[in-house]
Amino acid sequence: MFTQRFITYGLRTDSYTKSVKVLYSKFLQQEVKEVEIPMPWGKVAGKLWGSQDKQPILAVHGWQDNAASFDNIAPLIMKHTPVLAIDLPGHGLSSWIPPGFMYNELIYILLIKRIKNHFGWEKVKMLGHSLNAMMVHWYGACFPKDMQYIIALDIFKFASMDPIAHITMFANTLEVFLKVEQNTVQPSYKTQSEIIKKAKKPGFPVLDDSSYKILMTRGTTRKEDGTYVINRDPRLRVTPMN
């Protein structure tokens, strides 16, 4: 009898836990809003976590990622302050920049300025990850009066390089870009697992499958024929110049 009660209690507890998770998931859905910010070349897409009545932290993801990078951390932050996580141009659900142009940190710095002006913020609160943890410091150096604070995840500053080596790398990057822009065809993939396998190529940090799946919520699109395409602009394969 005791064992049976224990099992019943366990089942009820498990059921209760699942119910809480469902309710919490529904709560998060109510607290998350898709955002589109108009730009001269199209739009910048994003996710606003939390109150729409307070100025949010502007969260900027790393190279080749998207706003979903913050899906696990934003719900914790929004308890105290809203979070606006954006897809950078060419990433996630945001528009690609016009043909013939190259993605670089200067575009992203100007983007922050555009977003600040769009919302009429007096100062910006920045959360940057990886490449753009470095970029937000660059923005702060250019516009110190614009900054309220900076939170940097993963990397703090641009790598220091020998000037001669940097010029050589800069030239090589431009050559690679001219080749990459000739082929912007988006290949199709039968499954998301195929995309995850491709992402785990040598030379790149390997994430667990659940992290890849989070990024794919904004990083891939399922077509009418059931196959998947990667939303990211192929020009982003070129290593950032700085």
SS (H, E, C) 105-138: HHHHHHHHHHHHHHHCCCCEEEEEECHHHHHHHH
Concerning whether 130 is annotated as a catalytic residue, the answer is yes
Confidence grade of residue 201 (pLDDT, cut at 50, 70, 90)? confident
| Mean confidence (pLDDT) of the chain | 86
Q: What mean pLDDT comes out for the span 164-190?
A: 90
Task: Give me 60's structure tokens.
Answer: 């900027």
- Residue 102 in domain: yes
Q: In whole angstroms, what is the distance from residue 136 CA to residue 149 CA?
A: 10
**pLDDT at 125 exceeding the cut of 90:** yes
Q: Residue 169 falls within a domain, yes or no?
A: yes
Query: Which whole number is the average pLDDT over 10-36?
Result: 56
Name 33's bridge partners. 48
How many residues make up the chain in this entry? 242
CATH of the domain at 140: 3.40.50.1820
The count of domains in the chain is 1
Determine, yes or no, domain membership for 4.
Answer: no
Inside any domain, residue 71 = yes
Task: Tell me the pLDDT band of 198, cut-offs 50, 70 and 90.
Answer: confident
| Measured distance CA(168)–CA(208) in Å, rounded | 35
Element (H, E) at 212: helix 209-219
Rounded distance between C-alpha atoms, residue 124 and residue 126, angstroms? 6
Model confidence over 147-162: pLDDT tens digits? Answer: 999 999 988 777 778 8
Q: How confident is the model at residue 186 (pLDDT cuts 50, 70, 90)?
A: confident
Query: Higher-confidence residue: 100 or 159?
Result: 100
Cα separations (Å) of 75 from 53, 80, 85, 88? 17, 10, 12, 20
Per the CB < 8 A criterion, the answer to whether 86 and 94 are in contact is yes
Is residue 6, in this structure, part of any structural domain at all?
no
pLDDT higher for 15 or 191? 191
For residue 60, list its beta bridge partners: 86, 128
With a cut of 70, say whether residue 42 has pLDDT above it: yes
Domain limits for position 86:
19-237
Structural domain contains residue 109: yes
One-letter amino acid at 3 equals T
> Is the pTM higher than 0.75?
yes
β-sheet bridge partners, residue 188: 229
Whether 194 is in a domain gets the answer: yes
Residue 1 lies in a domain: no
Out of 95, 130, 210, 211, the active site residue is 130
Q: Give CA–CA dist 164/179, Å, rounded.
A: 23
